[in-house]
Structure formats: structure tokens, C-alpha cells
Amino acid sequence: MSAGQSIGIFDSGYGGLTVFKSIAKKLPQYNYIYLGDNARSPYGDHSFETVYQYTLECVEWLFAQGCPLVILACNTASAKALRSIQQRVLPVKYPNHRVLGVIRPTAEVIGNFTESKTIGILGTRGTINSESYLIEINKLFPEINVHQQSCPMWVPLVENNEHLDPGADYFVEKYINEIMAKDERIDCLLLACTHYPLLIPKIRTFLADGTVTLLGQGDIVADSLSKYLQKHPEITQKLGQDAKRNFYTSGDQVFFDKHASIFFGSDVSSRHVSHNSSQL
């Protein structure tokens, strides 16, 4: 069993860097490999089969880099690919590897963030249509009323760094009004997409002061990973603790580095990995 291995963090593109930022803050000692599949993102509108295929390829690439544990830091991939990878692939091909997502850890704590027992979920079409949050929250907190809203224009706004400009107001207000009109008791909006935390200052301008909690997932996923590592020494003992961070993108690395710092909060220097080679 070789030591010195990394935790793999996967996202369709940049968004998972908001989750990685929280993980790196909570657990700075570990080695990490981040992979953004920018060449094929966004995943939000792709079919189940496509998201599954793309996610599996990227997870297998991270396994090949020596990651015994991969976090799907992407709601769409967690909603559409995680269960199949955990149930169909790992037991047969990778019995000693683990893949975790962002939906279950979020569902486990959602009850702490609502007094009215009424929440709104904002996500990509893929995440919302999968009903993954509805199903998980209903299992754990059947008393919570869950309303959903897909926000397909928000990822492009963030990816183009237009999310805080006046032009973003129309689509931010539109989706906030739509979800809040579903139930006046909503007191927590879950930002169930890795890009949405960057919109928080803008979203707040369309909500009455202090009435609604805007819940991002970074800290929730970081806490959950910390607990998981404590409970699973068979994984933790394989991990290197040299605080190494390696970033890879299937897209253009210069473009990635420029945009990635917006999501990660500090400079990122990535390497390109190609879909057209045996590398991925």
C-alpha cells in the first residue's frame, strides 16, 4: 500500500474550485489533484448517460494518478453519475477506491438551516430534474418542504465573469422571484451548484434583509470530508501530507488559470490534459 497519494477533486470545470477552496482551508495538510473538464463543460444540460461517461473517464484518470479517494465537487455529476459509479464500477474494477459527492453531505445538515422547515434548492437543470436533493432530503428530513428552481443562465454569467455586473440583474432577479413565489415560508436557499456562491452579493440585493439564509456547500463538504477521513484510516493512511496542490484542465490552461483564481481565491497554475490522448 503506497503512501503519499492525493485526494482527487473533480468538477466539470471551474466551479469545484469553490468547494476545493473550503477543503484546502479545512484540511491544508493533504496533497490534492484537481481536474476540471473544461473542454466538455458545462455539464448542466447534458443527458444522464453523457454526464456519467464524462465523469467516469475523469474519475478513472484521477485514480490512475494515484488518488484513492475522489470528491465529485460538482452537483450535476453527483446527481447524475455518482450512484452508478459507486454501485456499478467501484465494486467490480476499483474495490479499494472511493468516490464521494456533494449532495448527501448537504442533505445531512440541511435541517440546521431552516426554522420554517421550508427551503428552496437552486441548481442546474440537470441537478433539479434529477430530483436528487428532493429524494435525499425527504429520506433524512421528511418534515422539510423542498421547492426547486433551475437557473440555467447563472453558470454562463459566472463563467464569463459577468455575474456582478448590472447585466446579470435580470436573470438573478428572475430566478429568485420564481423560487420565492413558490412558498412565502422559504427561509433557506441552498446554492446547489458550485458556481452560485460567487453570485451571493447579487442574490442578496433581491431578497429582504436577513430573512433568507443563502447556503453554499464548500464548508459543508469540507466538514464532511474531514469526518470521513477520521472514520476511514484505510484511506487516510495512503494520503500524503505535503500540502501539494496540482491542477489539471482538459481545456486551455492559460484561460483556466485566469478564470480559476476567481473561484479559488488565489493564483492557480494548471497543466493541460487532453481528451484525445490516452491520458484521459
| CA–CA dist 208, 224 (Å, integer) | 31
Asked if residue 171 lies in contact with residue 213, where contact means CB atoms within 8 angstroms, the answer is no
CB of 176 to ligand DGL, least distance (A): 18
CB of 234 to ligand DGL, least distance (A): 29
CB of 179 to ligand DGL, least distance (A): 16
193 binds ligand DGL (CB under 6 A): yes
22 binds ligand DGL (CB under 6 A): no
**Nearer residue to ligand DGL within complex by CB, 81 or 119:** 81
Among 241, 268, 229, CA closest to 5: 241
Q: What's the Rg (C-alpha) of the chain?
A: 18
Q: Which residues are catalytic?
A: 74, 193
> Sheet holding 69-72: strands in order across?
98-100, 69-72, 7-11, 32-36, 245-249, 270-272
Among 27, 209, 214, 201, CA closest to 119: 214
194 binds ligand DGL (CB under 6 A): yes
Lay out the site mask for ligand DGL across 74-93 (x = CB under 6 A, - = otherwise).
xxx-----------------
Q: Which of residues 32-61 bind ligand DGL (CB under 6 A)?
A: 41-44
CB of 251 to ligand DGL, least distance (A): 12
Asked if residue 144 lies in contact with residue 114, where contact means CB atoms within 8 angstroms, the answer is yes
Among 259, 107, 246, 240, CA closest to 195: 259
Q: Which of 12, 114, 148, 149 binds ligand DGL (CB under 6 A)?
A: 12
Residue type, 37: D
148 binds ligand DGL (CB under 6 A): no
Which residues form the interface with ligand DGL (CB under 6 A)? 11-13, 15, 41-44, 74-76, 124, 127, 155, 193-195
